[in-house]
Amino acid sequence: MRAPSHRILGIALLALAVLYMAWFREDRHAAAALLVFALPPLLLAVPAWRGGRKAAFWSGVLALFWFSHGVMHAWAHPEGALFAWTTIALSLVVVTASSWPGLKARFGRRG
C-alpha cells in the first residue's frame, strides 16, 4: 500500500502544473514559461504518485525554486498575488509530502 504522502505529493504536483498553466496562459513567452514551470511538476506527478523516491526527492528540491518564485512574485507584483500565494502554499505541501516518509522514519514510534 502506498503511503498517503505519495498521493498528496502527486496531487499537489498536478495542482502546481495546472496553476502554472493558468498563470502563464496569456504570457508572451508562454511556451518557455510552461517548459520551465509547468512541465517539471507534470513529469514528476506520476512517479511521485507511485511512490518513487527519486521523484519525491526532486520534487522537494524543485519546490524550493517554486517557493522562491512565488515569494518574489508576491512581493514584486501584488496584483498577481493570488497565483503567487497559491504557489507558495502548494510548494510547502510538496516539501512536506516529499519529506514525510523520512520524518516518519526518523521521529516515528519505535517499538
pTM of the model: 0.90
Q: What is the pLDDT of residue 106?
A: 85
Mean pLDDT over all residues of the chain? 92
For 19-70, what is each residue's pLDDT tens digit?
999 999 998 999 999 999 999 999 999 999 999 999 999 999 999 999 999 9
With beta carbons less than 8 A apart as the criterion, state whether 46 and 10 touch.
yes
Q: Among the residues of the chain, which ranges form H helices? A: 4-23, 30-33, 39-49, 53-76, 81-107
Residue 1 above 50 pLDDT? no
Q: What is the pLDDT of residue 75?
A: 96
